[in-house]
Amino acid sequence: MPAMRRTLWRRLGLAVAALLLVVAAVVAVGLSDVSVPDTSRFDADLGAIRALAVSTGEPLPTELRSQHVGRANGVPLTFVVAGSGFADHSFDFYAYQLVYAGGHTVLVDVVNDEQTQQAQFPGSEFDAAAYARVQEALRRADATVVTHEHFDHCAGIAHSAHLDEVASKVHLTDEQLRSPEAQDAGFTAELRARFTPLKYERMHLLRPGVVLIKAPGHTPGTQLVYTRLADGREFLLVGDVAWHQDNIRLPRMHPRLSNWMGGEDAQAMAHQLRWLHDLRRTAPELHQVVAHDGAQMQDYQRRGLILDGLL
């Protein structure tokens, strides 16, 4: 009997050790990242984008503004930029507004309402007054688009009290409206039917100086938003292709675990990051704006590149 017990304990120990090895292997793989290639297959042509932006000859926007609405704290940095340690990192939530000399505006990303944000990030910071300013900007905007269909970029549309007034001026793409992520953001089948989907190939001139560029990967409906101001300044709103400017600067992805949890096409995103990284060298005058990077936004605002608050 003692010999049998020793055999059972030995087998149990081996089984536990094997299980721990499997768990360790899964964690190790999950925290590793898909390598960013040396050459990008993402074939967006900056020259063509720039040409399209000014193709109508009409007045370009005069300023880019942003509105900070909320913040989620306590995200380990390694889940944002692979291999960056476990220091706490914050996700900041912004809406953007392009303003034309005549008072016309384009709104990009409408963040989320408080109920949606607290359901996803319990205890996170939410500025109700700032959200009210975003909703008023949505009501007044001549056109509204989102970088992608995740709740923190578009639930403010789905739950807007002004929906009847603004639906015809909201240009959600076909891919965004058909995505399951849109349903999670509050776009029911009945609600989606109220929008005319925007359909385009590769890139689309939304308004003078504003070009949409398809970039599926983070979500099926992800798009970049290029804008050129009347004074020649250029911006590229990259949405969540990157969560931190270091994703582009290094360049390095967030880890596979984040890819798996988000259902991302990591290979597509890796090629987009290479393209964005290369633009830092070939077009340093193009200011890339990462959606959730509060430190980057504060730097842009200090330098007067992006103005604080919506009109």
Return the CATH number at 256: 3.60.15.10
Q: In this structure, are 130 and 217 located in the same domain?
A: yes
Q: Parallel, antiparallel, or unpaired for β 125-126 and 63-76? A: antiparallel
Residue at 46 is within a domain? no
Radius of gyration of the chain (CA): 22
Number of domains in the chain: 2
Q: Are residues 177 and 259 in the same domain?
A: yes
Same-domain status, 295 and 186:
yes
Quote the CA–CA distance of 275 and 265 in Å, as a whole number.
16
Cis status, amide bond into 251, omega within 30 of 0: yes
114 and 237, same domain (yes or no): yes
Give the long-range contacts of residues 163-169, CB within 8 A, separation 24 or more: 163/191, 163/194, 165/139, 166/138, 166/139, 166/141, 167/194, 167/195, 168/196, 169/141, 169/142, 169/143, 169/144
Residue carrying structure tokens 């269909």: 149
Q: Is residue 41 part of a domain?
A: no
pLDDT of residue 33: 74
Tokens matching residue 96: 């953007």
Is residue 139 located within the same domain as residue 74? yes
pLDDT along the chain (311 residues), means of 10: 56 52 45 84 97 99 99 92 90 98 97 97 98 99 99 98 97 97 95 97 98 98 99 98 97 89 93 98 98 98 98 96
Confidence at residue 22, expressed as pLDDT on a 0 to 100 scale: 41
Residues 253, 211 within the same domain: yes
22 and 71 fall within a common domain: no
What is the extent of the structural domain holding 8?
1-28
CA 181 and chain centroid, separation: 13
pLDDT tens digits, one per residue of 138-186: 999 999 999 999 999 999 999 999 999 999 999 999 999 999 999 999 9
Same domain, yes or no: 108 and 2? no
Is 242 within the bounds of a domain?
yes
